[in-house]
Structure formats: structure tokens, C-alpha cells
Amino acid sequence: MTKEEFQRDVIPIGEKMYRIAFRLLGNSESAKDVLQELFLKLWEKRSELHTISSIEAFACTILKNKCLDKLRLRKPMVDADILKTQGDNPHAAFDHSESIFQIRKIMQLLPERQKLIMQMRDIDGCTFGEIAAVSDTSENNVRVQLCLARKKVKEELLKVYNYGIQRD
């Protein structure tokens, strides 16, 4: 693909890709960064673009993955909130941070989709619509997957707190 073909076929989809990135990330600067990364990636793959039936769909997939990477890298704000809610009680703050640590450890055992959905909803605070768009599924499926993930985390957390002892 030549420079002129790239400008004719790829650059015009930038506006649409920006809107998608902005909707997923909720931040104009992050959306612009991801869009720039997208164009760079497409330019690097310009020799292969003629074999792709829909450049727009291909670009959207790359964009979605780049947005997911950005969302994964965001620092969760839970830890800072722990200190605010616990006040002057260091024991309560420690217990709370230990619970967060255990939950995150258990989340790593979840299937990838459930882990992503739980991360985006419970830690990043994304809406069901945003999660559905990123994970290419319906909002109902997001709710079901989130419910299953939370149930599994709860079961595993109870095992940890009960020291593996079954209780009725």
C-alpha cells in the first residue's frame, strides 16, 4: 500500500476510531494516544492491508486491544480509598488491604473473560455498556459473567477465611 492509498483508505476512519477509543477510555488524551498507536501499527502493516477484506474491522480490533491494554495499566484507586475509609485505625486498614490482596490473587485464577469483566467493573468502574463494547458481547452476558466471577471469588475467599474448614 502506498502513502496515497493509506491516506485515502485508512486516515478517513480515524474519526470513527477516535470516538470508539474515547467511549472505551473516557479520556480524550488517552483516546488520541491510542489512535496514534493504531495508525502507527497500520502503517507498519501497510504491505498486508491489501489482503484484508475490511480495513475498518481490522483497525477496530487493533484499537480494542490497545484500549484494553490501557485499561489494564490503569492503577486501581482502591488502595488510596482504603486509607481514607479506615481513618486512624491501622489494624482495620491492614485487614482491608489484606482482603483486597486476597481478592486480586483469586481473580488471577478466573477465566480471562471473567477476570477482565470483574477488573473493568469492580476496580476500574466501567459501565456495563463499556465492558460489552470492549469484550464484544452483550450487556446481559457481561452481567452473567460478572455474577459468575463474583460468586467464584466469594467461594474462594470463604475458603481462605475459613482456613479450608467446611462450615454449614
User: What are the extents of the domains in the chain?
Assistant: 3-73, 78-161
How many other C-beta atoms are found inside a 10 Å radius of the C-beta of residue 62?
18
pLDDT of residue 167: 55
Fold of 78-161: Arc Repressor Mutant, subunit A (1.10.10)
pTM of whole model > 0.85?
A: no
| Long-range contacts formed by 162-165: CB under 8 A, 24+ apart | none
| pLDDT per residue as tens digits for the range 42-63 | 999 888 888 888 888 889 889 9
Check for a shared fold between 3-73 and 78-161. no
CATH number of 3-73: 1.10.1740.10
DSSP-H helix ranges across the chain: 3-9, 14-25, 28-44, 55-73, 78-86, 90-107, 112-118, 128-135, 139-161
- Taking 70 as the pLDDT cut, the residues of the chain under it are 74-97, 163-168
pLDDT of residue 41: 92
User: How large a percentage of the chain has pLDDT more than 90?
Assistant: 18
